[in-house]
Structure 1
Amino acid sequence: MTSAPRPDPRDFRKRLLAREPLIGSFLKFPGPQATEIFGSIGYDFVMLDEEHSPWTRDQLGMGLLAAKAYGTAGFVRVSRPDAASILSMLDDGAIGVMVPHVTSAQKAHDIASWARYKGGTRGSGVSRGGDYGGRVGAGGIDGYYADSDAITTVFAMIEDAEAVEQIDEIVAVDGIDAYFMGRGDLGLSLSNVQGAAPTLDEAVKKVADAVLGAGKILAAVTPNMTSDDAKAMKDVGVTVLMVGSDQGFMRAGALGQLGHFETLMKG
């Protein structure tokens, strides 16, 4: 557990754009407890995984409230990449969103627009994300809009062969803060390509070169921070690195204790 003063979760985007190394994890159990644990031990952010887990909106709201209470930045990987999903998560207090399967510059543009007020199309609303009006200060509603836009962080997932083909156009879009390389789905997508296709390693390098060449931030997940994979991601330029998930941590811990039990009983 870290003993240093915790950064304000609302400074996450500033830290990300400054290329500070940031650690997070996917959370799949639909409830606040895992968020509280990860926040209490010092993780920079948590990603509530609506895409691959049975979170309801009420449960996501509780998870985001727990993130706020425990000083970590709460994000949601949305299951539906549309304006309504992004709006609801930001209104419910998410620092930002991760959007899967961003395969074109138009989709990247739409996501960026849906997530921001000024220059975008985010609907006006002041709920938990705006401290129920408490953040509408001397600058009035326009000041609140500007402040919210400065905080909101958007991750676009690059996880399709089609996205790799169009990566230069995608990373040129303003308003996407970081690009997450979804290597599991990307490998699957590449394997389904008819005809010649890059290997997964070649695709990862192409994406990383394009993202970093455009001055953008690169993100990825690794199963273990002590693995060769984690070092490979660091070496390719990843500064936002996620490790596994709450389910993965629980399974690994339970397997370890099962092994200790079997050794103990044989002794």
Structure 2
Amino acid sequence: MGSTSENGLSLRQRICAHERVIGTFIKTPTSHVAEIVGLAGLDFAVADMEHGPIGLSDLDGLCLGARSVGLPLLFRSAGGEAPAIWPGLDLGCTGVMAPHVATADQADALVRAVKYHRGARGFSPSGRAGFYGTEGAGPYRTRADAETVIMAQIEDREALGNLDAIAGTPDVDVLFVGPADLSLSLGCAMTAPELDDAILATIKAARAAGIAAGLFLGNADQLEKWTHAGATVFVIGSDQSLLLAGARALAALS
């Protein structure tokens, strides 16, 4: 399901221990990007099926590339419904980031789509996640439930009134703020204090429930600010923005 760190902990164990972990979005549908990101030493990556041209077969290749270098790969699903989630997990992804989780019922439906012990996820150990049937059904289900990461994205004004209930949903690991969509829902700029207040409220709710808080950042400039505020899971930029920044640095030399 997911690779372990140098100290032998899975990504989910590190997240639940409130270690700071840093990843990036992958928006380019090629396995080579996952390999390179993994070789760079990031803690994880998230294949963006919501806003990138990544289909299921592309995710298959990205997952294989990530596994070749021990990179835990999550995917941002196109929705929180089970059919948008099961296939990516069966391919061997380490977890899912589900967009627009605004209520406890939506959080519960997300968990039911992921965790076998909830009794609703379609079961097959025959894919990569179950080592093509060689692990055994029982051990696979146990390991999958123990290692799979669930990140619920907080992106809507409605969600801000339900933070405690979402954070208190069993098996949700991270309340992850999508600041662009959240600012749009709030009707404010990305730099507005209202957005900072919403992020702080999300962090507070996550910490009160004993789970992790996460945040997307366009770059690392505010990493320490939000780490100090209590966030521990960060997705910073994407393969596209990293490539663009590097190319611009070279272009500035000409």
Instruction: Return the TM-score normalized by structure 2.
Output: 0.92
Task: State the shift of 1:182 in Å.
Answer: 0.7
Moved over 2 A (4+): 5-8, 141-144
What do you get for the CA RMSD once the two structures are aligned?
1.5
The alignment status of 1:243 with 2:239, answered yes or no, reads: no
Partners of 2:45 and 2:87 lie apart in 1 by 18
Aligned twin of 2:248? 255
Question: What pairs up with 1:95-244 in 2 under 5 angstroms?
Answer: 95-126=94-125, 127-136=127-136, 141-191=137-187, 199-225=194-220, 227=221, 229-244=222-237
Rg: which structure is higher?
1
Partners of 2:232 and 2:196 lie apart in 1 by 18
Question: What pairs up with 1:49-60 in 2 under 5 angstroms?
Answer: 49-60=48-59
Uncovered stretches (5+) of structure 1, i.e. residues with no partner: 193-197, 262-267
Name the amino acid aligned to 2:135: R
1:70-103 Cα offsets, whole Å, 9 max, x none, are 1110110011321012110000110100000000
Name the amino acid aligned to 2:151: F
Partners of 2:122 and 2:67 lie apart in 1 by 23
Instruction: Return the TM-score normalized by structure 1.
Output: 0.88
Question: What pairs up with 1:62-73 in 2 under 5 angstroms?
Answer: 62-73=61-72
Partners of 2:200 and 2:180 lie apart in 1 by 15
1:14-41 Cα offsets, whole Å, 9 max, x none, are 1111112211000111111111111012
Classify the secondary structure of the residue corresponding to 1:118.
helix
Task: State the shift of 1:134 in Å.
Answer: 2.2
Task: State the shift of 1:157 in Å.
Answer: 0.2
1:160-212 Cα offsets, whole Å, 9 max, x none, are 100011111111111111111111111110008xxxxx811111111111111
Mapped contact 2:202–2:213 kept (Cα < 8 A):
no
Partners of 2:76 and 2:235 lie apart in 1 by 13
Partners of 1:7 and 1:220 lie apart in 2 by 25
Aligned twin of 1:18? 17
Mapped contact 2:160–2:202 kept (Cα < 8 A):
yes
Mapped contact 1:113–1:175 kept (Cα < 8 A):
no
Describe the shift of the 1:214–1:233 C-alpha distance in structure 2 as closer, same or farther (beyond 3 A): same
Describe the shift of the 1:51–1:60 C-alpha distance in structure 2 as closer, same or farther (beyond 3 A): same
Question: What pairs up with 1:60-99 in 2 under 5 angstroms?
Answer: 60-99=59-98
Name the amino acid aligned to 2:218: P
Task: State the shift of 1:7 in Å.
Answer: 5.8
Name the amino acid aligned to 2:224: K
Classify the secondary structure of the residue corresponding to 2:25.
strand
Classify the secondary structure of the residue corresponding to 1:102.
coil
Mapped contact 1:114–1:120 kept (Cα < 8 A):
no
Size of the alignment, in residue pairs? 245
Task: State the shift of 1:131 in Å.
Answer: 0.7
Identity across matched positions, percent: 34
Aligned twin of 1:41? 40
Name the amino acid aligned to 2:245: A
Mapped contact 2:153–2:176 kept (Cα < 8 A):
yes
